[in-house]
Structure 1
Amino acid sequence: MSSLLGLRVGRLRALAIFAAISFTGAAVTANAQEMYQPQCFKPMPGTTKTISYPAKPGPWRLALVNGFVGNSWRIQMIQSLKAWATRPENAKNFRELKIVSTGTDVAAQIAAIDNLIAAGYDGIIFIAVSPTAFKPVIARAKRAGTVLSSFDNVVDSEEILLVNEPQVEFEQVKSQFVFDNLTTKQGKVLEVRGLPGNSVDRDRSIGFHNVFDKKPGIETVTVVGNWDDGTVQKVVSDAVATHGQFIGMVTQHGTTGLMNALKDAKHPKIPIGGAGENGSLRMIHDGDWTSIARVQSPALSVVAMKGVIALLEGKKLPQHVGLPVPTLYSKDLKDGANYSTSLPDNFQAGADFKDCDVVLPFQELLKQTPDNT
């Protein structure tokens, strides 16, 4: 953290530099060297717009507005942000950290963001319940001088900072791996979708169908798993009972539930495209299944907050940040290296962003609760 004098000088410099730029960013193609921490904040493919704000002295009042709260990923996401924010080198930036979880109601989430804007919060990160409907609240944040960042399930907007992994490509790579490893190209492939109405669910399904649609001899069956292990286990069990054996499966999340369903059904081994839940990696390794696991990291919340703080300091970022997708293959799984028998089954393995200096040991996360604050 700079000294107060340094912050004032930085603010004046930022005001001079950005006087001719709109408050929410400039549509310019920027040299990566001009960006803040370019090794971390890389533009999403196709993104040329940058975003910047006049510097504002800290420490700041900052908030996370979460929506859906019904799975272990959201718990770890909140714990990740709290753990990172309590480290001494980061805590000095926080005058206050507010955590709000609103459920799946769009109006409730917008109202929560509006309340924080009205209360004078400097920056807010949020996982959008819907990719649309946020344009008015984004405009209100702009007028109030509140920096917004949408991450994970991002909004469809070019006016605020977006932080995500490339979702269509995310599922397309998984699906291509499953297709390439099918022992037969005749049969049914199961798609387990996430929470309806979210941009991640929408884009991941596009990636799946980019691979499997119009493949001769392959029929796709789709079920909704809500990104929850218990729900995934039930819908996969029901799908097997209804349709019989599948030649491959791809799930957005809840891979531990999927593996439990296959085990209970005594289903023959098939290629699996899943996520990075620790329990599923253990079962895949122990059972010698063929799989790919791609991780939507809960630490996206930390990178989004780092981005908001950088913008409040007057730094420049790509308007849409694309983070790398941690990917694990069954042939490379090793206890203690990329999964652990000593960790809970629902722990999201492989979730660190080392290029962003975001490494969060599980012991650190356990000290935090997912409660609202």
Structure 2
Amino acid sequence: MTLSIPFGDNALALSFAGSRHKFLSATCTPDAFSDCLLQLVAASSSEPVPLGVLRLVVAVSDQDQLHGILEQLTKDFPALLCRAEVVVQPPFSGQLQLSAWLVDQAAIANEASSNSSSAALQWLFSASNELVPSNAQVASVFSRQFYDGMTFGHAQGHTPDDLLRAWIYIGNITQGRHDETPYQQVNAARRDVFQEVGIGKGTVGSPFPASTGIGTQGPSLTLGLLSCRTRPGMRLVALENRRQTSAFHYPKEESLIAPLFSRAVAILGGAQAMVFVSGTASIVGAKSVHLGDIEQQTRQTLENIGNLLCARLLSDYDCYPAVSGLESIVSYTVYIKHRKDFALVRAVCAALLPDRAVASFVEADVCRTELLVEIEAIAVMPE
């Protein structure tokens, strides 16, 4: 079996805070999915430091592929099912795309290690993929998924304070009236569950997790939750872009219910940082800008991301890494609303983002109808 993008040519391995991380991406056909995933698992186990799949994203072309992939995961890779987000976001190269984040096994939280005294960061990820029969059920499904994720985390020794990142893939994201769209329903449910478990603590400036709320085709809702137990000398910090209104302070005309997420969340320690940048778009203040201009929207989006990764912002938290800015990005995903814009968006990203970064480009709707592109990223800044 030959992959259209071999893992070796679209993979990046590096260390952070004493643990090894590897980001990779590949495309294949649905009938080659199991072989592709077997190759990934085999490659990870042969590493000098054994790696495990922390998070797996499978972008498929249609609902039939989604059902088929979920069946294959259930049958052949049951241990990965709770770590896999399977979404209908047609990739721009190939029928099916796998994006994976691997971490050395000692750093992945499990029942055996959650009570250990290890000084390593302890990572935990969980995912839930569900069909939603009607838009009216979006809020209840999201709430159940979130509480299930919190219960799973609690069993591994994680608390709500350890939650640093969420991915929310929302079917029919902008369908309906402004106050009834699935996106607004998710915002309402998120507000309620965050209040219930104490995330944000209800005070101005309290940190919320980083987040991506993005469209997926068909009546489904997928939620991925990433948490990390830090070690002494390291801390989680929420970052905000000074040129943007914080999302949790959006006025009602932009979002009837403000989405409770931070622009980015960073793990900081001395002169090193790992930054999780939320889904970011062409927004200045609270307003969408460069309407109808895909190139300028892409450039503005990357400028916004750069503002979150700049040395000056990190210095406010007494963190002074050797590398910062867009050059520190190791993995990013680009969500493009219209397929016709793919070549131009990819060209802008290639010009402004590092060649070594593992990139994924998929077709997806964005939470505002006028926005044409959204980008999320992970950056690692070494000492």
Q: Name the structure where helix makes up a greater proportion of residues.
A: 1
Higher-Rg structure is 1
TM-score range with shorter-chain normalisation?
A: under 0.3
- Greater fraction strand: 2
TM-score w.r.t. the length of structure 2 is 0.27
Q: Structure 1 length normalisation: TM-score?
A: 0.27
Greater relative contact order (Cα < 8 A, sep 6+):
1
